[in-house]
Amino acid sequence: MSIDLEQFHETFFEESFEGLDIMESGLLELEQGDVDLENINTIFRSAHSIKGGSGTFGFTAVAEFTHDMETLLDQMRNGERKVSADVVDTLLGCVDVLRNMLHAIKDKSEIDTVNVAEMTQALKDILGADSAAANSSAAETQAGLAVKGWQVSFKPYEDIMKTGNDTVRLLRELCSLSDSYEVFVDSEALPPLAEVDAEACYLSWRINLLGGEVSENDILDVFAWVDDECDLKIETLAEDELYVGPERRDDERREPARDDRRKVDRRTSSAKGKESSSIRVNISKVDELINMVGELVITQSMLSQFGEDEKFNESHIERLKDGLAQLESHTRELQESVMRIRMMPISFAFQRFPRLVHDLSAQFGKKIELVMTGESTELDKTVLEKIGDPLVHLVRNSLDHGIEAPDVRVDAGKSETGVIELRAYHQGGNIVIEIKDDGAGLNKEKILDKARQNGVISQDDRLSDEQIYDLIFRPGFSTADVVSDVSGRGVGMDVVRRNIRELGGTVEVDSKPGEGSVFTIRLPLTLAILDGQLVGIGEETYILPVISIIESLQVKTENINAVAGNAEVYRLRDEYIPIVRLYHIFGIEPASKELDEGLLVVVEAEGKKIAIFVDDLLGQQQVVIKSLETNFKKVQGLSGATILGDGTVALIIDIAGLIELYQKDMAGVVVQIKGGGLAA
Amino acid sequence: MANILAVDDSSSMRQMVTFTLKGAGHQVVEAADGQEALNKARAQKFDLIITDVNMPVMDGITFIRHLRGEANYKFTPMLMLTTESSSDKKAEGKAAGATGWIVKPFNPDQLLNTVNKVLG
């Protein structure tokens, strides 16, 4: 039977990466001096599983590498080796190498052999070269020579059957080695019937194998499981005793197995790098889903009765309405359940930070304690995967720029050890992630200087603290005195903001001099569904994200001001807000071009406000976002499309993109939208 | 065809064992650790147990020791999945009542050969 092992690779990789994460966090705990046997055991088990799996699935390089790791861990758990910083660091390095190897195999790319060799050497240095050599030679067993015939005496102990071994099976297997055999039974030891213990074995056998094709090892293999439960004697048969076969039968027999493995390897490397991604879902979520579908089916069958009922009359209407209401609530619950399937705890994004902080604080000579809370907070898998890099950047930033060197901290009257706090929680329909440090805080003067140098702001601009802090998210903005390896390359915060914005989220910073800074990221729970406000412009329907709408209002003409050329602003209380005529930007025909005949919807994105002029507000509903990028192409000002209840397609407005579009549109006119609308 | 309990904390190994055995017409029940396996083995009778050794909660050898002590499993073949290097484990497993072992890494054919052997 030939089975394609490749089908199990995805699961193997998934569990191996999980195993590596477990090893990593376990090792970091060890480092903190917390030597707990159960922890070492857990680390050992992960390494052991990866070794077993990689061997089975033909990733020999991984199996070989893991072998030495396992040996070292085994010594640690047996108390033969002390846990030292050196050992932990080496093992952490091994985890990295292993992760890279697995990634390389998964992506069908080259393994970095130099790295592997270095780490293997480091392991061997710790283990002492001799033990590794002993291990590899142990596998080489002496191959027996083929002879003409064998006499096997097999005298099992009484208890042999109590380990599930069956003497008849053993004899049958032994005899299957040769076409020609003789079996003699010795029943001498059999007690009188009354004394027989039915579960004991009293018989012994003598078997003559007459074929010349059997080696001693073949026979030993048969009895391998019971060699300590019987007396076994293997002797060559007297006749033709001198005959020694020219070939080593034993080697030949093993050859096919090795060939198989090579074939698997080749198949693995020839297959194209096909992406497949899977998600692990808690069974209770699936059960919930099935339950919901059940409810839906019941409602459906209830409603279908009305269709069959020929005497449908007004008296049924109440029940029909009930049914429809039920249908609606079930659909909503079903939708929520389905969404929950994609939800994963944020710990998947957080778990890399203990290691990161460990490595970086050593590099910078800082002392840092990392506190993480709300790790079980769930968010969409896609959001989770994409938020990783921005988070890393922010944590690195806090570590590099936020937390001061130990002596500086002591001088400032703070504890030597800085604290970085990662906190995740739900708030409304959003998930909030905070990265907080108790460092020096942002330096307002430095930021302002830099901004003036770069011409981001003019000499006499007066900005609030909030606006000053926000400057660090501008492109090309870095105030690091020394450009370090970690951050301060000048690309950074603007990329962070852009990445987060792409996820439909926002990032803000707040800071107190001498007390530290907090970066707050707000993200939508899911990317697939949006609370939308439908607006009508002429024949078209557009959708505005409800989250970005501040208010909608009827236009009072006296509040409209025209500034330079065709730019219009609306005075709303003390603010001047640019009016964006959507029909103009998208080139469509509205019902009316008179501002007082339509409505203004004031929306905000990234601290900028605009008032969008529309004909009418149509209603609010949840819409499923269909990507324009995958189905058509990326269009600025639009974040996607959706299909409405009546089957027509409506486009979803991307407010931030629209603001940019509007600014381009007004390029001739200097309209700079600042935080909170136009500066009055 | 036999009713087999496959125990391993690694889901890729479980998948592989199950797929192979089911392909040969056996019925397979999976468990991810010794305790879960013990519970399942008590709930129904299996003709063959195949278990990994290193597992969380309860390791394979402890599991075999417990199960071998039960009247239903006095003579049931129980195989350990073990690596070449751990000869101590083999002896320990035998002492706990294991019938034999399958050395990791193994391929599906080797697994089936061994299973067919013990099932007779």
Q: Which residues of B touch A166 (CB under 8 A)?
A: 75, 77, 118, 120
Residue A144 belongs to a domain: no
Do A184 and A328 have their domain in common?
A: no
Handedness of CA B93, B96, B100, B106 (dihedral sign): negative
Q: Which residues of A touch B75 (CB under 8 A)?
A: 161-162, 164, 166, 199
Taking the Cβ of residue B19 and every Cβ of chain A, the question of whether any pair is shorter than 8 Å is answered with yes
Q: Which of A8, A49, A135 sits opposite B15 (nearest CB)?
A: A8
Locate the chain B residue with the closest alpha carbon to A42. Answer: B56
Do A10 and A113 have their domain in common?
A: yes
Do A331 and A461 have their domain in common?
A: no
Q: Which residues of A touch B9 (CB under 8 A)?
A: 45, 49
Do A465 and A534 have their domain in common?
A: no
Q: Which of A341, A375, A390 is the last residue of a domain?
A: A341
Q: Which of A230, A249, A268 is the last residue of a domain?
A: A249
DSSP states of A215-226: -HHHHHHHTGGG
DSSP states of A597-660: GSEEEEEEETTEEEEEEESEEEEEEEEE-B-HHHHS---TTEEEEEE-TTS-EEEEE-HHHHHH
Provide the pLDDT for residue B62: 93
Report the CATH number that the domain containing residue A549 is assigned in CATH.
2.40.50.180
Q: Can you name the CATH fold of B3-119?
A: Rossmann fold (3.40.50)
Average of per-residue pLDDT across A415-428: 88
| Chain B nearest C-alpha distance from A102 (Å) | 15
Residue A28's φ and ψ, nearest 5 degrees, are -65, -35
Burial of A655 (0-12, 13-18, 19+ CB in 10 A): buried
What are the residue boundaries of the structural domains of chain B, listed by start? 3-119
Locate the chain B residue with the closest alpha carbon to A12. Answer: B12
Task: Tell me: cis bond preceding A590? Omega within 30 of 0 counts.
Answer: no
Q: Which of A1, A56, A225 sits opposite B16 (nearest CB)?
A: A56
Q: Which of A497, A524, A551 is the last residue of a domain?
A: A524
Report the CATH number that the domain containing residue A377 is assigned in CATH.
3.30.565.10
Region of poorest pLDDT, from A210-224, A426-440, B35-49: A210-224
Average of per-residue pLDDT across A92-100: 90
Locate the chain A residue with the closest alpha carbon to B115. Answer: A169
| Chain A nearest C-alpha distance from B73 (Å) | 8
Measured CA distances, A154 to A40, A171, A208, A228 (Å): 43, 9, 11, 12
**Amino acid letter, residue A516:** G
Do A231 and A322 have their domain in common?
A: no
Average of per-residue pLDDT across A515-524: 89
Q: Which of A56, A168, A224 sits opposite B106 (nearest CB)?
A: A56
Locate the chain A residue with the closest alpha carbon to B118. Answer: A169
Give the residue numbers spanning the domain of A560: 529-665
Residues of A annotated as part of the active site: 48, 70, 397
Average of per-residue pLDDT across A136-156: 59
pLDDT of A325 above 50? yes
Do A102 and A178 have their domain in common?
A: no
Q: Could you tell me the two tokens for A445?
A: 């003067």
For residues A435 and A275, which has the higher predicted lDDT (pLDDT)?
A435
Provide the pLDDT for residue A205: 87
pLDDT of A253 above 90? no
Q: Which residues of B touch A71 (CB under 8 A)?
A: 85
Provide the pLDDT confidence category of residue A310 given band limits of 50, 70 and 90: low
Provide the pLDDT for residue A248: 39
Provide the pLDDT for residue A302: 81
For residues A268 and A526, which has the higher predicted lDDT (pLDDT)?
A526
A60-77 vs A85-106: helix crossing angle, rounded to 10 = 160
Q: Which of B77, B83, B91 sits opposite A52 (nearest CB)?
A: B83
Q: Could you tell me the two tokens for A460?
A: 């006499």
DSSP states of chain B: --EEEEE-S-HHHHHHHHHHHHHTT-EEEEESSHHHHHHHHHHS--SEEEEESS-SSS-HHHHHHHHHTSGGGSS--EEEEEETT-HHHHHHHHHHT--EEEEES--HHHHHHHHHHHH-
Region of poorest pLDDT, from A101-105, A107-111, A458-462: A458-462
Q: Exposure pattern of A199-220 as b/e (b: 16+ CB <10 Å)?
A: eebeebbebebbebebbbbbbe
CB-based contact A652:A530 (threshold 8 Å): yes
Average of per-residue pLDDT across A203-212: 81
Do A354 and A500 have their domain in common?
A: yes
Q: Calculate the CA dihedral of residues A52, A55, A58, A62 and round it to 10 degrees.
A: 100
Residue A278 belongs to a domain: no
Residue A258 belongs to a domain: no
pLDDT digits 0-9 by tens, A329-341: 888 888 878 877 8
Q: The tokens 């195949």 sit on which residue?
A: B50
Do A287 and A377 have their domain in common?
A: no
Residue A262 neighbours by CB under 8 Å, 6+ apart? none
Residue A12 belongs to a domain: yes
pLDDT digits 0-9 by tens, A573-616: 888 899 998 888 888 888 888 888 889 999 987 778 899 999 99
Q: Could you tell me the two tokens for A50?
A: 């990866």
Residue A140 belongs to a domain: no
| Chain B nearest C-alpha distance from A457 (Å) | 58
For residues A61 and A134, which has the higher predicted lDDT (pLDDT)?
A61
Q: Do A56 and B105 make contact, defined as CB atoms within 8 angstroms?
A: yes
Provide the pLDDT for residue A626: 82
ipTM (interface predicted TM): 0.81
Q: Alpha-carbon distance A463 to A477, whole Å? A: 17
Taking the Cβ of residue B46 and every Cβ of chain A, the question of whether any pair is shorter than 8 Å is answered with no
Do A580 and A487 have their domain in common?
A: no
Q: Calculate the CA dihedral of residues A219, B65, B93, A155 and round it to 10 degrees.
A: -30
| Chain B nearest C-alpha distance from A162 (Å) | 6
On average, the pLDDT of chain A sits at 79
- Tell me what percent of the residues of chain A surpass a pLDDT of 90: 9
Identify from A50, A56, A263 which residue to disrupt to test chain B contact, counting B C-beta atoms within 10 A and taking the largest count.
Answer: A56
Q: Which residues of B touch A140 (CB under 8 A)?
A: none
Q: Which residues of B touch A164 (CB under 8 A)?
A: 68, 75-78, 97-99, 118
Provide the pLDDT for residue A650: 92
- Count the Cβ atoms, other than its own, within 10 Å of residue A190: 12
Residue A36 belongs to a domain: yes
CB-based contact A676:A575 (threshold 8 Å): yes
Q: The tokens 């790319």 sit on which residue?
A: A109
Please list the ranges in chain B whose pLDDT falls under 50. Answer: none
Q: How many domains does chain A have?
A: 5
Q: What would you report as the CA-atom Rg of chain A, rounded to the nearest whole angstrom? A: 37
Do A326 and A364 have their domain in common?
A: no
Do A352 and A468 have their domain in common?
A: yes
Residue A241 belongs to a domain: yes
Region of poorest pLDDT, from A6-15, A26-35, A102-111, A560-569: A26-35
